[in-house]
Amino acid sequence: MIKNIAIIGSGVMGSSIAQSFAVSGYRVTLNDINEELLQKAKKRILENLSLMVEESGLDEQQKHAALTNIYYQADLKEAVCEADFIIEAIPEVIEWKWELYQNLEKMIKADAIVASNTSTFPISRLMEKASFADRMMIVHFFNPGHLVPLVELVKHDQTKAAVVEETTDLIRRIGKTPILLKKEISGFIANRLQTALMREAFYLLNEGVASAQDIDTAITAGPGFRWAFTGPIEIADFGGLDTWQRVFDNVAPDLNQSVEAPAIIRQLAEEGKLGTKSGEGIYEYDDQIISRKLDERDRNFIKLGKIKAGVKEKKDKCFS
What is residue 6's three-state secondary structure? strand
Burial class (CB in 10 A: 0-12, 13-18, 19+), 26: buried
How confident is the model at residue 319, as a pLDDT? Answer: 62
**Strands 85-88 and 113-116, how do they pair?**
parallel
Domains delineated in the chain: 4-180 (3.40.50.720), 191-319 (1.10.1040.10)
Output the pTM of the full model.
Answer: 0.92
**Strands 27-31 and 4-8, how do they pair?**
parallel
Partnered with residue 179 across adjacent β-strands are 152
Distance CA 51, CA 63 (A): 10
What pLDDT tens digit does each residue of the chain (320 aa) get? Answer: 899 999 999 999 999 999 999 999 999 999 999 999 999 999 999 999 999 999 988 999 999 999 999 999 999 999 999 999 999 999 999 999 999 999 999 999 999 999 999 999 999 999 999 999 999 999 999 999 999 999 999 999 999 999 999 999 999 999 999 999 999 999 999 999 999 999 999 999 999 999 999 999 999 999 999 999 999 999 999 999 999 999 999 999 999 999 999 999 999 999 999 999 999 999 999 999 999 999 999 999 999 999 988 877 776 767 66
